[in-house]
């Protein structure tokens, strides 16, 4: 059987992760990486053609599914619809308030082109969204909670780096254990932002910097830190590189609820990930397989993980799935 031919659009941590993930999925192969940088300067983790983003059209008929590995702030709002006008796509769009808008744009572009695009794939949105849906469907009277971490938030790390005299920084989002325990006990508490997560910051300051000022600026930063209990640790650049080089993440979705007869239930899903982008890539690749198959059945337009029957994710046939996994 011929392999599903994958294109990778954008080559940062996620693009690298997709290449790694494809190595573990024998029915798929990477055909080319598309970049807005100079293709000659993109160093890939395994050998693969690198091409200019603008050259993509040459690959129509040679690539089955494009996996978009750009960011949600500026890349995907343009690229998803653009690429979907030529190829089936998978993206990891995660700007939550803009999901309806992104869906509409992708749906229009994909329907016009007769392609299929699945958006917002990853672990949140993605697997966590699925947990929220399945949990709620099976236990309609109850309350769902999502906790993130312990893990690195790139956005918050970047926000610290923008402060004067900060050379580098790493920010960890950490779920509050006592809040988790209250949820697990079925208390269904109303939790404030501060009660759910704390923020731990590891900061490398320039020599002679006013550390008290930096700490104050972090802790009072609106949206990012002001609503949280934040701790700031000043460390050396050497320690940062040694102890905080990875991009771990994870989190939990919990739902507690009760039957009409009064029995209590707890549903819990958690992920512990040594590498956020490498795990996300694994999810993107599984959904690329699903998109390929659904498209062959004639499906077009925009879809999400909610629209895709689980069977499409696995290479194994349905009989094998029922035998081995049901």
One of 71, 125, 151, 175 touching a second copy (CB under 8 A): 125
One of 33, 89, 204, 271 touching a second copy (CB under 8 A): 271
Q: Choose one: 107-115, 187-195, 226-234, 309-317; the region binding a second copy (CB under 8 A).
A: 309-317
CA 91 vs CA 70, 129, 149, 177, 307: distances in Å? 8, 15, 22, 32, 15
Contact 96, 125 (CB under 8 A): yes
One of 37, 45, 211, 242 touching a second copy (CB under 8 A): 45
- Other beta carbons within 10 angstroms of residue 54's beta carbon come to 9
Selection from 226, 277, 271, 221 nearest residue 94 by Cα? 277
Q: Specify the residue, 10 or 277, whose C-beta has the smaller distance to a second copy.
A: 277
Q: Is 44 in the site for a second copy (CB under 8 A)?
A: no
Q: Is 309 in the site for a second copy (CB under 8 A)?
A: yes
Q: Is 267 in the site for a second copy (CB under 8 A)?
A: yes
Q: What number of chain residues touch a second copy (CB under 8 A)?
A: 67
Shortest gap between Cβ of 71 and a second copy (angstroms)? Answer: 18
Distance between CA atoms of residues 117 and 80, nearest Å: 8
Q: Specify the residue, 95 or 231, whose C-beta has the smaller distance to a second copy.
A: 95
Contacts of 212 (CB under 8 A, 6+ apart): none
Q: Choose one: 30-38, 75-83, 148-156, 310-318; the region binding a second copy (CB under 8 A).
A: 310-318
Subset of residues 141 to 160 that bind a second copy, contact rule: CB under 8 A: 141
Strands of 229-234's sheet in order across = 151-152, 166-175, 197-205, 229-234
Contact 276, 154 (CB under 8 A): no
Q: Is 325 in the site for a second copy (CB under 8 A)?
A: yes
- Other beta carbons within 10 angstroms of residue 208's beta carbon come to 7
Distance between CA atoms of residues 285 and 106, nearest Å: 19
Contact 263, 230 (CB under 8 A): no
Shortest gap between Cβ of 140 and a second copy (angstroms)? Answer: 5
Shortest gap between Cβ of 193 and a second copy (angstroms)? Answer: 19
Distance between CA atoms of residues 230 and 59, nearest Å: 48
Shortest gap between Cβ of 156 and a second copy (angstroms)? Answer: 21
Shortest gap between Cβ of 236 and a second copy (angstroms)? Answer: 25
Q: Specify the residue, 72 or 231, whose C-beta has the smaller distance to a second copy.
A: 72
* Dihedral over alpha carbons 302, 307, 308, 310 (to 10 degrees): 160
Q: Is 140 in the site for a second copy (CB under 8 A)?
A: yes
Q: Specify the residue, 8 or 203, whose C-beta has the smaller distance to a second copy.
A: 8
| Tokens linked to 58 | 């040459």
Q: Specify the residue, 196 or 289, whose C-beta has the smaller distance to a second copy.
A: 289
Contact 33, 6 (CB under 8 A): no
Residues that bind a second copy (CB under 8 A): 16-17, 20-21, 23-25, 45, 96, 99-100, 103, 120, 125, 127, 129-134, 136-141, 246, 259-261, 263-275, 278-279, 281-283, 286, 304-311, 313-314, 318-319, 321-323, 325-326
């Amino acid at each position: 059987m011929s392999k599903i031919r994958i294109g990778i659009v954008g080559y940062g941590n996620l693009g690298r992760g997709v290449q790694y993930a494809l190595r573990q999925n024998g029915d798929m192969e990477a055909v080319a990486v598309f970049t807005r940088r100079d293709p000659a300067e993109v160093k890939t983790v395994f050998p693969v053609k690198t091409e200019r983003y603008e050259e993509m059209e040459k690959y129509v008929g040679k690539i089955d599914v494009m996996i978009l590995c750009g960011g949600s702030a500026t890349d995907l709002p343009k690229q998803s619809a653009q690429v979907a006008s030529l190829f089936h796509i998978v993206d990891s769009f995660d700007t939550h308030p803009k999901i309806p808008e992104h869906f509409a744009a992708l749906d229009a572009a994909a329907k016009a082109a007769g392609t299929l695009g699945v958006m917002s794939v990853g672990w949140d949105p993605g697997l966590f969204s699925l947990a929220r849906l399945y949990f709620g469907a099976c236990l309609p009277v109850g309350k769902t909670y999502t906790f993130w971490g312990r893990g690195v938030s790139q956005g918050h790390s970047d926000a610290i780096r923008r402060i004067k005299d900060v050379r580098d920084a790493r920010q960890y989002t950490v779920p509050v254990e006592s809040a988790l325990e209250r949820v697990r006990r079925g208390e269904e508490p109303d939790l404030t932002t501060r009660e759910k997560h704390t923020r731990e910051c590891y900061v490398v300051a320039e020599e002679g910097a006013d550390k008290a000022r930096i700490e104050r600026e972090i802790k009072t930063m609106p949206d990012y830190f002001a609503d949280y209990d934040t701790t700031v640790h000043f460390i050396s650049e050497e320690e940062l590189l040694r102890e905080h080089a990875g991009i771990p993440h994870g989190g939990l979705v919990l739902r507690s609820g009760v039957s009409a007869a009064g029995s209590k239930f707890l549903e819990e899903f958690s992920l512990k990930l040594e590498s956020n982008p490498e795990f996300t890539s694994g999810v993107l690749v599984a959904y690329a397989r699903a998109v390929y198959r659904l498209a062959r059945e004639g499906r077009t337009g925009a879809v999400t993980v909610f629209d895709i029957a689980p069977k499409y994710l696995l290479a194994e046939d349905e009989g094998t799935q029922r035998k081995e996994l049901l």
